[in-house]
Amino acid sequence: KAGVTQTPRYLIKTRGQQVTLSCSPISGHRSVSWYQQTPGQGLQFLFEYFSETQRNKGNFPGRFSGRQFSNSRSEMNVSTLELGDSALYLCASSLSGVNTEAFFGQGTRLTVV
Amino acid sequence: QKEVEQDPGPLSVPEGAIVSLNCTYSNSAFQYFMWYRQYSRKGPELLMYTYSSGNKEDGRFTAQVDKSSKYISLFIRDSQPSDSATYLCAMSEQTSYDKVIFGPGTSLSVIP
C-alpha cells in the first residue's frame, strides 16, 4: 500500500514569491493535515482538511492556505514568501482525522532566499 | 515555560544499551501521549501512543506515563544502530490534530 506522497521534495524560492506544495494521502484516507517543522519552533500544526473542508486551523498568518480535492489530495500555498518560511513542510493523512492514526509523508524542504 | 519540554540531547549510546527518553509537560488536561521516530530527511513515524496513565510495551519499546508528575518516558531495550533517529514526544487533550503539542525532539545515536 503506497504511503503519503509529497511533491516536490525540495524547493528553493525567492522572498516575495509564492509556492504550492502537494500531498497525496494514503488511498481511502479522507483527512489530510499540514505541519511546519523548523529547528527553532519544532513541529507546528498548520491546518487540517477533511472531505474538502478545512476543519481545523493553527496559528499561522493568512499567507498560508490550503485546499483539498475530491480525491482527497491536498495542496498548500504560501504567498509572499519570507525568509522565516524556510522549513520542512509535512503532511499527514488518516482515515477520519484521529491524530493517533496519522501517517506522515517525507516532507517538502522549502528554502527561501 | 514551554507546554512540552524534552531532554535536548543529543544522546549517544553503545549498541545494546537501554535508552531512556523523557518529556515533561504543564497541561494536566493532556490525555493522549505519543512517541514519534523521525529519521533524517524523513517524516515522523508514530511508534506508540498511550491513553491516560500507565505503561505500554511493544517489542523493545516501552512507553510510560505518570500523570501525577506530568512526566512521560520511552524506553528502548537492546538498542540497535537502526534506532538512531530523532524522537519526538507529543500529547493532546483530544484526538484532533489541532490539539497536539509536540516536543522539540531528542536526537539519538546508537554506536555499533
B41 contacts A106? CB cut-off 8 A = yes
pLDDT at A41 over 70: yes
Q: Give the residue ranges of DSSP H helices in A1-113.
A: none
Could you give the CA distance from residue A28 to residue A51 in angstroms, rounded to a whole number? Answer: 11
Smallest Cβ distance to A100: which of B34, B43, B98? B34
Q: Say whether B11 sits in a helix, a strand or coil.
A: strand
Smallest Cβ distance to A90: which of B43, B49, B103? B43
Please indicate if any CB of chain B lies within 8 Å of the CB of A26. Answer: no
Residue B49 has a CB neighbour count (10 Å cut-off) of 19
At A101 the pLDDT is: 82
Please indicate if any CB of chain B lies within 8 Å of the CB of A45. Answer: yes
| Structure-block grid coordinates of residue A59 | 496559528
| B81: preceding bond cis by omega (within 30 degrees) | no
Can you tell me the mean pLDDT for A10-36? 96
> Which of A43, A45, A68, A110 would best serve as a mutation to test chain B binding (most B beta carbons within 10 A)?
A43
Binned at pLDDT 50, 70 and 90, residue B94 comes out as: confident
